[in-house]
Amino acid sequence: MQIETVSGYQFHPDDLAIGERKSGISAFLRTRNGADFLAATIRSHMPFYDEIVAVYNQCEDDTPAILAGLAQEFTPRLRVFHYTDRVQPLGSAAHARTPGNSPQSMVNYSNFALSRTRHRIVVKLDDDHLAIPERVAPLCHTLRNEGLGAGLFRCFSGLNLARATSGELGIPAHEMLSGGGDIGYFEVAPDTFFYHDRRFERFARGRLRRVFAGFLYWHLKFLKTGGGFVNYELGANPDSRFARKRNAFVRTRLLELPEARRALRPNALAAIGARLGAGKARLNYARNQALGAAFPDPTLVAALDRLSPGWRDIPGLLHPLARQDSG
């Protein structure tokens, strides 16, 4: 399969080609230096989607070669694009001042990836999302046979994994969960695309209402080279919000699964807030309430063994990656 190279692209909502979309589910993935878990991520999701659109940018690792190999294996369901323009890192002053329709904006880059999907239902993947098959499979079956449900954005979350200096896996206390309503399955419409925020790219859901669909993946960001912070170019952007996030990660302690369940278990006050509050409060309550049933296991390793039996064969999961540079 030939990898398409793209330069100077500027997004327009017409590029979403609403009327030409086919039934089915597309995923889109943007990656920069994602080699650590990219292959595992794509392989874990490939059985459930009609296509995955992978777009890479500014890679200095093996990402292009990994994608080229996977594209040969999974053609035509894996389509790969090289977005060549310099994309300003999120959290930087350059991102804050770069217009969302600039080829150098993460917003434009994200909209390009979205615009290349061809199916009506779409979901965003990151290169460090390891699917939990028994959760993704039934949801995708429902979406194919019953649809999304009128006006719904079916968002989902994952457990963050990190590693202690002694080598054991745990859940970082400062940020136990990934996905607070920002990722999910939606039907592409003229008003569903990314727009500029000085801090990051935001996704406009139009009038879609968020509902919690479950815990569908393990989030491997903190296990990546540099703890997942390399692409923010923090040496050149010391005031980035992601520099503060990195510092919080360095100081955090790791929890076992029962500790995380206790810490996130909603109390009576949270239940009242969910009933009376805005949609985000209701969403967070539903997510935190679902954690115990989703992960009743006595340890994190037991949960991984039960839900992702092949996890021990993925480099960087059972043992640390060979290189863990700071970003």
298 within a domain of the structure (yes/no): yes
Total structural domains in the chain? Answer: 1
The confidence score (pLDDT) of residue 326 equals 44
pLDDT at 273: 75
122 assigned to some structural domain: yes
Nearest to 179 by CA among 54, 287, 68, 48: 287
Collapsing DSSP states into helix, strand and coil, what is residue 171? strand
Within a domain: residue 327? no
pLDDT by 10s per residue, the chain, length 327: 679 999 999 999 999 999 999 999 999 999 999 999 999 999 999 999 999 999 999 999 999 999 999 999 999 999 999 999 999 999 999 999 999 999 999 999 999 999 999 999 999 999 999 999 999 999 999 999 999 999 999 999 999 999 999 999 999 999 999 999 999 999 999 999 999 999 999 999 988 999 999 999 999 999 999 999 999 999 999 999 999 999 999 999 999 999 999 999 998 877 787 777 777 889 999 999 999 999 999 999 999 999 999 999 999 999 998 654 444
**Which residues lie below 8 Å from residue 112, measured CB to CB, with a gap of 6+?**
6, 9, 11, 55, 81, 83
Residue 2 has a pLDDT of: 79
Kindly report the backbone phi and psi dihedral angles of residue 281, in degrees, each rounded to the nearest multiple of 5, phi listed first. -65, -40
- Evaluate if pTM is beyond 0.85: yes
Within-domain flag for 106: yes
Domain extent, residue 86, equals: 4-313
Predicted local distance difference test score (pLDDT) of residue 234: 97
In a domain, residue 265? The reply is yes
Distance CA 280, CA 267 (A): 17
What secondary structure letter does DSSP report for 218?
A: E
Distance from CA of residue 70 to its chain's centroid? 19
Q: Is residue 322 in a domain?
A: no
Assess if residue 319 is contained within a domain.
no
Residue with tokens 């979309």: 21
Establish if 29 belongs to a structural domain: yes
Phi and psi of 45, rounded to 5°? -100, -20
